[in-house]
Amino acid sequence: MSIPALAHELPAAVVRAAGPGLIVYTERQLYYELCRGLRLPAAECSVPSTAAPAVEFESFQAALSAFGRPAELLDEAPSRPLPLEGREPDLTHYGISRILLCQDPSIARMLRANGFPMEAGCAVVAHPRPMPLPPPLDGMAALARRAAIFALHDASPEGLRWAGQVSARRFLPRGARFRAVGLRPVHARRLQLPAPRNPSPDLDGLPPTLAPAEHAWLAEGWSAEVAAVHPARLMRALRRIVRETAPRPALELAQSGAGYMTWP
């Protein structure tokens, strides 16, 4: 499809990505919304399936440049975090009971831009590498004694490995409970998410809890990003999980790399 033709399809994708209301979304989320709109009606079916994105991301970017920047599109340049120095002197004296770690930094910024931390009573942190939380957060989570740590990851070998590594005891604050709430292949197929394909996937370190069909899906080179889920649907699912679902430490730590989310 030509760049002018893609630019012609963008207004409808912008409306879908921001709805309902005026949700702030990332460039990748808008890209996947455009791909959903371009999917042939015949591809809409109740049978779980996977299809590659309808257009290349570079073609989408060219069309977006021709179309212009939508008002709700999140700025891709992250703002510098506010320094702790000079702020409330007792800020780190309080515990944080719920923390959502995001493998994708742009998803973390999108959630914060939409007020998710205030709505869900949950700190949202970009955590692309499996490393300990920074000292202020680590200490504040330890003060909560039984803090709940949630990990949001892609349905990919990299995402599943990341969740398993984050859950390692040495990366968690003292007494914290862990739950991976990211995508798994079964969700990507059920939601019919557009999924890129890698001809030579690295399958080392996958969690043993994956079903054979999910392992086969990954072995075929498929992967799906959290960004492929509609923004409103993503926030609705996360809000319900963070607010209403208490992590079960024994089971979740035993299956730390699996990761799941019951999508509405």
pLDDT per residue as tens digits for the range 29-70: 999 999 999 975 544 555 567 889 999 999 999 999 999 999
- Binning pLDDT at 50, 70 and 90, where does residue 264 land? very low
Quote the CA–CA distance of 35 and 38 in Å, as a whole number. Answer: 5
Quote the CA–CA distance of 54 and 217 in Å, as a whole number. Answer: 19
Is residue 207 within 8 A of residue 215, CB to CB? The reply is: no
Does 87 fall in a domain?
A: no
Average pLDDT score, the chain: 85
* 135 lies in the same domain as 248: yes
Does 50 fall in a domain?
A: yes
* 148 lies in the same domain as 61: no
Quote the CA–CA distance of 148 and 100 in Å, as a whole number. Answer: 8
Residue 257 has pLDDT above 50, yes or no: no
Of 197, 196, 258, 192, whose CA–CA distance to 230 is shortest? 192
Q: Which residue has the tokens 């990851």?
A: 153
* 155 lies in the same domain as 247: yes
User: Tens of pLDDT along 238-256?
Assistant: 999 998 754 444 333 334 3
Residue where one domain finishes, among candidates 67, 83, 104 = 67
User: Tens of pLDDT along 95-105?
Assistant: 889 999 999 99
Does 77 fall in a domain?
A: no
User: Tens of pLDDT along 112-122?
Assistant: 999 999 999 99
- Counting the structural domains of the chain, the total is 2
User: Tens of pLDDT along 209-233?
Assistant: 899 999 999 999 999 999 999 999 9
Domain that holds residue 19: 3-67
Does 148 fall in a domain?
A: yes
Is residue 20 within 8 A of residue 232, CB to CB? The reply is: yes
Q: Could you give the percent of the chain with pLDDT greater than 90?
A: 60
